[in-house]
Structure 1
Amino acid sequence: MAYAIRQYREGDAGALAEITGAAIHAIGPRAYSRAQVMAWAARHPGAERFVSSATKGALIFIAVDDNDRPVAYALLEPDGHLDMLYCHPDHTRRGLAGQLLAEADLNARRQGISKLYTEASELARPAFQRAGYRVSHRRDFTIEYAGGSVPIHNYAMTKTLD
């Protein structure tokens, strides 16, 4: 299967929300407990998040399949925050994360952004490291879920653009 990278279009938001949920539920258990996965999934809003982010100037890069169906995406905010990087579980291990991060780098440079930063999950950290991001520290925090506080972690990471 061939993939292409394109920018967000009106009508993509629902598919992106579905990719996020599928990735968290299917891939999340490889590094996080059931409670952590459930809390993580619950804090991600639906399609409205993507519409709002695009309206506020975020660039959303989407990997699409041969039929122009979104299968992975990266969301870059105007300040250099790479807020989301998700791939549908049926399309992992095909280099899409690297392609999306390269596209985000290219566009950030065009906009004069000199530093990118993110909070990468345990699962996404290797993709970011391959793309030149460096871990600045592990972030341990809790997510309020189902009447309790669920401890979880991710990694603060940065990349300086030349």
Structure 2
Amino acid sequence: MSYRIRLFREDDADALAAIAVRAIELIGPRAYSRDQVAAWAARHGDDRYFIERVRDGQTIFIAADEGDHPCAYTLLEVPEADGCHVDHLYCDPDHTRRGLAEQLLARAERFARDARTPRLYTEASELARPAFERAGYRVEHRRDFRMEHAGRSVPIHNYAMEKPLA
């Protein structure tokens, strides 16, 4: 199967919400507990989120299949003087291990370089960390924090990572 990287369109919103939730629920248990996965997934799934983010100036790149259906995506916040934040990187579980994360991160890097930002940075899950490392990001530190879910405070972690561009 071949894929192409393109910009987000509003009719992609439902697919992106589904990709994020499927990735979290189906791949998340490889590194996170059931409670952590539930708390994480509960923060995703709203298709309006994507439309609002793009209207606020964020950029979303999609990896689309031959039928132009989204299979993976990355969401980039507006580049600032200190860098460009990679806020999301999700791949549908049916399309993993095909280089889509690497293609999306390469596209994000071109975008950031075109904006002349000095670095890319992210907070990568345990599962996304290897893809970011392969793309040249380095771990700055582990972030331990809590998410409120179902009336409980659930501990979880990710990694602050960055890639200098200058």
TM-score where L is the length of structure 1: 0.98
How far is 1:58 from its partner? 1.0
Tell me the equivalent position of 1:22: 22
Give % identity: 64
Partner residue, 1:36:
36
* 1:37 partner SS: helix
1:113 aligns to what?
117
- 5+ residue gaps, structure 1: none
Q: Which residue of 1 aligns with 2:99?
A: 95
CA distance in 1, matches of 2:45, 2:115: 28
Which whole-Å CA distance do the structure 2 matches of 1:141 and 1:86 have between them? 21
Distance 1:155 1:119 in 2: 5
Gaps of 5+ in 2: none
Partner SS for 2:10:
coil
Output the amino acid matched with 1:149: S
SS of equivalent residue, structure 2 residue 154 = strand
Determine the C-alpha separation between the residues in 2 that align with 1:53 and 1:41. Answer: 18
* Offset, 1:43: 1.6
Is the Cα contact below 8 Å between 2:26 and 2:93 reproduced in 1? yes
| Aligned residue type for 2:164 | T
User: Do the aligned residues in 1 keep the contact of 2:21 with 2:45 (CA within 8 Å)?
Assistant: no
1:159 to 145, 149, 163: 163
Deviation for aligned residue 1:8:
0.6
Q: 1:150 aligns with which of 146, 151, 154?
A: 154
Deviates more, 1:8-17 or 1:62-71: 8-17
The SS at the match of 1:11 is helix
TM-score by length of 2: 0.95
Shift of 1:45: 4.8
Corresponding position of 1:128? 132
Change (3 A) 1:91 1:45: closer
Number of residue equivalences: 162
* Secondary structure, counterpart of 2:143 in structure 1: strand
Provide the aligned C-alpha RMSD in A: 0.8
